[in-house]
A and B are shown apart, each in its own frame.
Chain A
């Protein structure tokens, strides 16, 4: 990543308040700055109610900045004079529990909904549906399945296919693995990193699952009470064990074991993110 390169998405001093000026006012974001470059995956972590979803909803113009600015490829969302749909096609947003946003009776129609609304030819729509379903690992024959008859993991992949069929450059995902079983989670993470490595793509992912963040992201932003508390390379951010724990967050469980051993005076390096690295550090104790 070249730093002089222009970010795909740049959030500048963004603030957002729900129901401003009423007794029910809730400040959700305060002076948030964030940059997303192409060919990277950025993770967002933060305790419940820290503003993660509100921030994500700003990234494709679903919410417009009250204060500050969001720029897509250098163009400000606030001053966007063109069709907002163009922006939404470029930045695909996958909501929390996206299976709830499926609404067509047949699976294929749900994936085709976006492309059909882009006035593409029948042939192009079919091609996009086929590609998108392939990318998420659903057989094309599933297009004729009843949406309601799919399992949770399948529904979630179908909702993702609906967004991918728009051929976005950026995917924004809000807790994509919540309530998936371990296998479903691994599959989804595999699909995401596969999609991203196609080139020129970027992903923003918010999750409470620290393992998800470690597996996918190269950089992490930590959002606490609507402010960016910390950001940096994934390894760097997860080295702040105490700070994360104080803010209702955590590190992957394997890393936590190593941090706790270090706390008890054992000579282990806490530069650990996953099970392999943790096992190696602990093994080292026995050969010292």
Chain B
């Protein structure tokens, strides 16, 4: 009997959209992502990238240079022995001219904060640094769509924040972002969250709409962002406290505003 990793997925990701894919381990996130640059070809159904069907081997190169992918385990993606050579590998193979190549390497290394380690052997990087390198090596190819499979799982809080900021900037420049993550604080930043469960799309929508379904998320063994959990807790004491803040600064502002209202009404 076949085991379906994905079943009946209908999904359109628009140009320039920022989408987060969440779901428990084994829900099909990685399988879905691997279909987006023809690493996996559907058993049934079709995947179209721009107008190219991933089944059409003629367009594999087009598809793969359009959709850049950062894998879960950076070790599987790092090929060169020196940091900057790894970042150069992709664009070199795309035929990027020498003068532009250097700019791209500099930009990608600076974007992830590895500029001081450019001459370091890649096997002497820590797990988090390897993850940053895998990201830089994908960025240097300047893909129009960036697919990230738990690309931040080994990053320290500052690197994670920096990475989220880079992704936000790329998104503003019109790059399409698809990111799978277990970190709900990170998912909350996306325009649309797709919740996968047992290979199917269980629900999808904007962050506030998805995180309002806390019962469903609990059934799917998922968490709320920590700010939403904290707001829910505060609500137990103050029953009209708003629960829609998705980031720490937003929640701080919510508290300040709410406090202002309360004090205003007491006077």
Contacts and interface: CB of A to CB of B under 8 A. Distances in A.
Interface of A: 18-19, 24, 26, 46-50, 52-53, 96-97, 100, 151-153, 175, 178-185, 208, 210-211, 245, 248-250, 252-254, 256-257, 260-261, 264, 266, 275-276, 278-279, 282-283, 285-286
A9 B262 CA distance: 54
Given A48-B128, A48-B156, A182 B226 contact: no
Contact of B129 (A49, A100, A275): A49
Given A253-B227, A254-B226, A283-B234, A151 B221 contact: no
B252 A264 contact: yes
Interface string B102-135: 0000000000000001011100111111011000
Contacts of A248: 156-159
Interface in B72-103: 72-73
Contacts of B223: 182
Contacts of A183: 24, 221-222
Contacts of B182: 179-182, 185
Given A208-B128, A250-B157, A257 B252 contact: yes
Given A47-B158, A249-B156, A97 B248 contact: no
6 contacts: A26-B124, A49-B128, A52-B126, A179-B153, A257-B230, A276-B233
Nearest to B182: A181
B211 to A, nearest CB: 13
Given A175-B154, A210-B157, A260 B25 contact: no
Interface of B: 23-26, 72-73, 117, 119-121, 124-129, 131-132, 150, 153-160, 182, 184-185, 221-223, 226-227, 229-230, 233-234, 236-238, 248-249, 251-252, 255-256, 259, 262
Contacts of B129: 48-49
The 5 closest A-B pairs by CB, nearest first: A48-B128, A248-B158, A183-B221, A250-B157, A279-B233
Given A249-B158, A283-B237, A261 B153 contact: no
Main secondary structure of the interface of B (DSSP, over half): helix
A208 B155 contact: yes
Contact of A178 (B24, B154, B234): B154
Contact of A47 (B72, B159, B237): B159
Contacts of B256: 261, 264, 266
Contacts of B73: 97, 100
Contacts of B121: 19, 24
Contacts of A153: 25-26
